[in-house]
Structures are given as structure tokens and as C-alpha cells.
């Protein structure tokens, strides 16, 4: 089932316009300059809750990507689709610096060949899916209704990882739940720490903001 769904998304449910959208969505190198600008603006102009969100989101990514995802990749060692299945289409932008200069250029498209499966791999879990759903969940925790908007790009990025042949559908689905779980757990722990010890370290801030979510 996993392989059948992969090939449907990767080979059949495709379109040239979707190719461009999915490759751009899947490329972190494309987005990090814009994210950095947004981060700096939020730090400078944001209020207490915005800055608390940034701090907790950064910590959540550190736990998700640096601890959980890396550990599980080493435990499961699942090969990527193009490493084990013949005819998987891999898509990527042309090499360019900065990366956005590759927009509009023909995509790099390759089809995998049948070969012996590798003994190790990095397919599970998906860091893209885990991290994006983790941040989307943290945003929802801090900003409630408006925070849920970030689930739209999180879904798009996660789907793009299957579309471009980088991950199996099951990898992305489980990784999304990993991200959601950690996106709930880490803010809850941070808020508990703030409630317990924030008044001793930052009494004035704690008096005005008894929880991180205010």
C-alpha cells in the first residue's frame, strides 16, 4: 500500500505546475532567507507572547530535529523510495546561489533504477514533516485560531516530500504526528517551568505574564 500510494502521488497525480510548486515547497534553502527576515522582525517588533513563541518554537525544533528525528533515523535506517524502487521520479531545483535564482529554470528530474536496496537510509522519519508540524502546533498553542493557519504550509511541505520522491507516505504521516505530539509537549513543559520558576528569575515579566501564552 505504501509503495502504491507513493507511485500514485509521485508518478500519476502530477502536473508541470505542481512540479514547480512542490519542488519550491520542499526546498528549505529557498525559504531560509525569508524566514530569517521574519524572525528578526518578530524579535524586534513582537510582544512578550511573540518572543516566547519564537523561543519555544526554536526549542521544539531542537528537540524534534536534533534529538527525536536523528535518533529514529539511526534506529530504523529506512532507505528512501528512490533507493529501493525502480521508476521513482526525483525532482529538485537547479543548483544556484541564492537558491531562489533557480525558479523558472528547468527542474532536475531523474528516475531511479532497479538496484539492490541499501542497508541503511534516512527516509524515516521525515525531518521536513516533523519540524513543520511541530512549529505549526506550537503556533496553534500560542495563538489559538490564527495559529492553525500554519498547518496549511505544513501539509504542503509534507506532501511535497512524497511528490518529489524523497519520502514514503507512511514516513510523512507518522512524522506529522511526531511533530504534533512534540509541538504540544514542549510548550506545556516550558509553560510549567515558567509558572514554577519564572517569578524567581524574571519577577516583573512573570507578574505581567503568569503564563507564556498571554
Ordered by start, the domain boundaries in the chain are 2-208
Q: How far is 97 from 100, CA to CA, in rounded Å?
A: 8
Q: How far is 188 from 178, CA to CA, in rounded Å?
A: 15
Instruction: Return phi, psi of residue 168, to 5°.
Output: -75, 150
212: DSSP letter: T
- For residue 117, what pLDDT is reported? 66
Is residue 182 within 8 A of residue 132, CB to CB? The reply is: no
Sign, CA torsion 202/203/204/205: positive
- For residue 121, what pLDDT is reported? 79
Q: List the pLDDT tens digit at each of the 214 positions of the chain.
A: 899 999 999 999 999 999 999 999 998 888 888 889 999 999 999 999 999 999 999 999 999 999 999 999 999 999 999 888 889 999 988 887 777 777 878 898 999 887 766 667 789 999 999 999 999 999 999 998 777 899 999 999 999 999 999 999 999 999 999 999 999 999 999 999 999 999 899 999 999 999 999 8
Residue 150 corresponds to which cell in the numbers above? 500554519
**Residue that the C-alpha cell 504542503 belongs to:** 156
- For residue 119, what pLDDT is reported? 64
Amino acid at each position: 500500500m505504501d509503495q502504491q500510494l507513493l507511485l500514485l502521488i509521485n508518478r500519476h497525480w502530477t502536473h508541470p505546475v505542481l512540479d514547480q510548486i512542490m519542488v519550491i515547497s520542499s526546498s528549505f534553502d529557498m525559504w531560509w532567507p525569508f524566514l530569517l527576515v521574519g524572525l528578526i522582525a518578530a524579535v524586534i517588533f513582537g510582544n512578550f507572547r511573540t518572543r516566547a513563541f519564537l523561543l519555544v518554537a526554536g526549542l521544539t525544533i531542537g528537540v524534534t530535529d536534533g534529538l527525536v528525528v536523528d535518533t529514529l533515523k539511526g534506529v530504523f535506517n529506512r532507505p528512501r523510495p528512490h533507493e529501493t524502487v525502480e521508476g521513482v521520479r526525483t525532482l529538485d531545483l537547479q543548483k544556484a546561489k541564492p537558491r531562489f535564482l533557480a525558479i523558472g529554470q528547468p527542474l532536475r528530474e531523474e528516475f531511479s533504477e532497479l538496484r539492490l536496496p541499501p542497508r541503511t537510509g534516512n527516509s524515516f522519519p521525515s525531518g521536513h514533516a516533523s519540524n513543520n508540524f511541530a512549529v505549526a502546533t506550537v503556533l496553534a498553542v500560542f495563538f489559538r485560531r490564527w495559529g492553525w493557519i500554519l498547518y496549511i504550509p505544513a501539509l504542503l511541505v509534507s506532501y511535497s516530500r512524497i511528490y518529489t520522491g524523497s519520502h514514503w507516505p507512511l514516513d510523512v504521516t507518522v512524522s506529522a504526528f511526531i511533530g504534533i505530539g512534540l509541538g504540544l509537549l514542549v510548550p506545556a513543559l516550558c509553560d510549567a517551568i515558567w509558572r514554577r520558576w519564572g517569578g524567581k528569575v524574571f519577577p516583573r515579566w512573570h507578574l505581567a505574564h503568569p503564563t507564556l501564552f498571554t
